[in-house]
Structure 1
Amino acid sequence: MEETAEKSLNVSVLMNELKKDNDEMQVVMKQIQDISTKSNILALNSGIEAARAGEAGRGFSVVATEIKKFAEESLQASRQSEEIITSIQNKANEIIAVRTVDIAYDTIDKIDRNLFERNCDVQAWATFDAIKQCLLAPSPETVQHAEAFLKNIHAIYEVYFDLFVVDLSGKIVASAQHPNQVGKDMSKRTWFKETVRTNQVYVTDMYYSDVVEGHTMSYSSPVHDDQGNIIGVFTTRFNWEFIYDIIDRVKIDETSKLYVINSEGYVIASKDRSDVLNTKLNHLRAVELLLSGRETRGYTIEQNHIYAYCLTEGYNAYKGKGWSVVVMESIV
């Protein structure tokens, strides 16, 4: 009973089973066509022999004519049936494609909503007094207070590798999990420079960090004093593994594939972890349409596969990073 319920949730599995049944029906129809063709040839030969027999073969000639008529009608019906079966197959492909586009949209939407929360986190935490004070009045006491605050929210939220406070010169002054990073100069890092330059939250693409030893994204927010002046940067390192809570729950066939790609076409998440940051999908027509800006949602059919795709729309104030989800379904 549970297996039936599970299968009913996976539309692509059911549609592929339907397509297999159609394939088998086409084989049967081909056999019927062969029989009709052979019957037609047999009727033709019988008619010739009946004509040679003259008056004695007249009755058999009538039978041969009827057999020929029946064979032709049967052949015509089988051809029409084959057209209907082909139409059913095409419609099944379209249903799979539309459903797969929905999967791509739903997946990128869930990722965006998750990352929107990370965007909110960094802005909110940058306003806490413990963070401001260790920048305004740096001392062992204020830094210790800030580190206690960082450790506390790190333990509560669980989805971060680390949290850092960086002063306006670029020096790390506090860390939740990596005290060995305190004192290091971040002034040349793009995330630091852009946060200070724009006075806005800066979000990196997904990358591998040697410091936290994992795939991560950094969210960086300016820290302001009471007059609105920038006094430093609060920056987080999101644990990318939590994105797989979304990816691994997507219901697709075992032979199907799901990719999250960045704005350059690199795979940044996949059910197959070996693809991450190693595989580029720019050779696909679907990805070409996405990266060129000509399409934001849809599907292509390439080499007996459906590639459904959806570009990020962002969520509320989080505009996204130009990522997309691509889902591959076989139609063989």
Structure 2
Amino acid sequence: MTIHGTDQSDQSGALADGDTDPARIVALTADVRETTESKVAEIQAVTGRTKILALNALIESARAGDLGRGFAVVANEVKGVSEEIAEIAGALRGELSAKVELLDQIGRSIVDHLRGQRMVDLALTAVELIDRNLYERTCDVRWWATDSAVVECLGHPSPEAQAYAAKRLGVILSAYTVYLDLWICDLNGQVIANGRPDRYGARGYSVSSEAWFREALATRTGEEYAVADISLNGVLNNAPVSTYAAAIREGGEAQGAVLGVLGIHFDWGPQARSIVEGVRLTEKEARRSRALLLDAELRVIASSDGVGMLTEKVDLRTEGKRAGHYSQPDGTVVGFHRTPGYETYDGLGWYGCIIQGP
């Protein structure tokens, strides 16, 4: 969890496009290998028959005595030519086999590289989409923390002010369906108002031990915010949430004295699921692929197959790289890309990851 400000630089990623099918190289190489073997075998079969004919001719010429000597010379020449052709065919098979094998290796290497790069591009797309989504959450929390009803609820606390603030939060929630609830917390960490009191019994709950609360209290200006990694929230029916928090300041001013904290709970499950399930895999690819979002600890925080949420940890071989791909012994290809961040949101070190079976 980290406090974030406004001095982050823009970063972006690009997708590689292309409509060629490099797998054709491998297929054509296999055709060349098969044709080479077939034609060389045919040549060797013909030379074998020629040798037999030459041998028969020599036998017949020997029976003919002096009359067959000239024929014997021709038969020997035919035999010699057939042996030369057999040697040439053998050499041709050896040379072509080595070159076809090299061509096959090159073709497969190209296919593997392009396949891996495609996985990287898809992983980048996934993590970029969630970054842009979460950037908006950082804007929301900083904006709503300056709402006059939210500020008044802490600046001049009363049951009426708290009720009105809860009503205002409810109005926000009716327009922003990506949130489960919004909480106004006093300096002691007690929730004094929330936007959905009829659904969640958050009022009176203490968040004083939550890192997002403590870090929001420690922010220096209204331009800063705190964010927590994905976790299950017991008050919100044990739903997975991403919590963003900003200090509520006197007068709603960026440099005003801190009165409390606004915590907004992003409904992580359906939003993240739409990202990983929306990765542009072909139908054939989708049957053997997993699209994942991983946190900085490489825990699964979203998966296209719905498996491993917050329980599975992926042994991702990043080797210190921001992005890359590699093949496993069974032919599985793994592509990954670390969050590039978006605008003032620099991300939490998350990764997009695609794991595609052979």
Give the % identical residues.
25
- Larger RCO (alpha carbons 8 Å, 6+ apart): 2
Q: Which residue of 2 aligns with 1:195?
A: 216
Once the two structures are TM-superposed, the CA of residue 144 in structure 1 deviates from its matched residue by 1.4
Show CA shifts across 1:172-231 (max 9, x none): 111112452211222122221221133441100011222223111110110000361000
More helix as a share of residues: 1
1:244 counterpart residue number: 273
Q: Which of 256, 260, 279 in structure 2 is aligned with 1:232?
A: 260
Between stretches 181-190 and 154-163, larger displacement belongs to 181-190
1:39-75 Cα offsets, whole Å, 9 max, x none, are 6599589769968958474123323422442343245
**In 2, Cα distance between the equivalents of 1:186 and 1:99?**
43
Distance 2:334 2:345 in 1: 27
Superposed displacement of residue 261, structure 1? 0.8
TM-score by length of 2: 0.77
Distance 1:13 1:328, change over 3 A: farther
The residue that corresponds to 1:298 in the other structure is: 324
Corresponding residue for residue 206 of structure 1: 230
Q: Does 1:285 align with 2:317?
A: yes
TM-score by length of structure 1 reads 0.83
- Per-residue CA deviations over 1:86-143 (Å, capped at 9, x if unaligned) read 3222112212222222222222111111100001100000000000111111212111
Paired position in structure 2 for 1:144:
163
Secondary structure in 2 matching 1:238: strand
Letter in 1 for 2:30: Q
Which residues of structure 1 form unaligned runs of 5+?
A: 1-10
Greater Rg over alpha carbons, structure: 2
Q: Which residue of 2 aligns with 1:3?
A: none
Q: Distance in 2 between matches of 1:79 and 1:12?
A: 31
Alignment length, in residue pairs? 313
- Cα deviation code 1:237-289 (max 9, x no counterpart): 1011212222221112121222111111111111011221121112x423xx2
User: Partners in 2 of 1:14 and 1:279 — Cα distance?
Assistant: 36
Partner of 1:219: 244
User: What amino acid is the match of 1:184?
Assistant: Y
Superposition RMSD in Å = 3.0
Which residue identity is paired with 2:259? I
Alignment check: 8 A CA contact 2:120 2:323 kept: yes
**For the residues of structure 2 that align with 1:177 and 1:14, how far apart are their CA atoms?**
53
CA-to-aligned-CA distance 1:73-92 (integer Å, 9 cap, x gap): 24533442342233222112
**Mapped contact 1:40–1:68 kept (Cα < 8 A):** no
